[in-house]
Amino acid sequence: MRSQPNDRELHILKTGRVARMATADRTGEPHIVPVCYVFDEGCLFTPIDSKPKRVSYEKLKRVKNISANPKISILLDRYSEDWKELYYILITGTADLLPYGHSRKRAVELLTAKYSQYKEMCLGDLSFSVIRITPVNIVSLGNL
């Protein structure tokens, strides 16, 4: 098991724009959503932002799942018609919610620098949490 990325994986983690985040509830029922993220200090961070949601923050499936079961997976991948160019990075780990604190503030600064849309959203002013994903195992395959 490897909990930190190699150089090629790190480059993709730093430059990638979107990933898929999978959580599961107490019974193991899976839930997956696309997320924007940053990688910093060995962890991934993704916000619960103010894009339109069908339910309140506390009732979001991913938030409820993380509270009930902190095990999580993140998938970054690239598809190409030239299958020699395919790759994926699968990160399994644990998640926790950061409603405040230094790590949340740093993550918000990095997310705002990476995604201009978050500047307009005033991400740092929102009361929503940031999800921190701590890798336990990283597996990759393909043309990194």
Tell me: the pLDDT tens digits for 45-85? 999 865 444 545 567 889 999 999 999 999 999 999 999 99
Report the pLDDT value the prediction gives residue 53, as an integer from 0 to 100: 47
Work out the pLDDT band at 120, boundaries 50, 70, 90: confident
Q: What's the pLDDT score for residue 94? A: 98
Overall pTM surpassing 0.75 (yes/no): yes
Sign of CA dihedral 23, 25, 27, 33: negative
pLDDT of residue 100: 86
Rounded to whole angstroms, the Cα distance separating 129 from 51 reads 14
125: pLDDT strictly greater than 80: no
Amino acid (1-letter code) at residue 48: I
Residue pair 12/89 in contact (Cβ under 8 Å)? The answer is yes
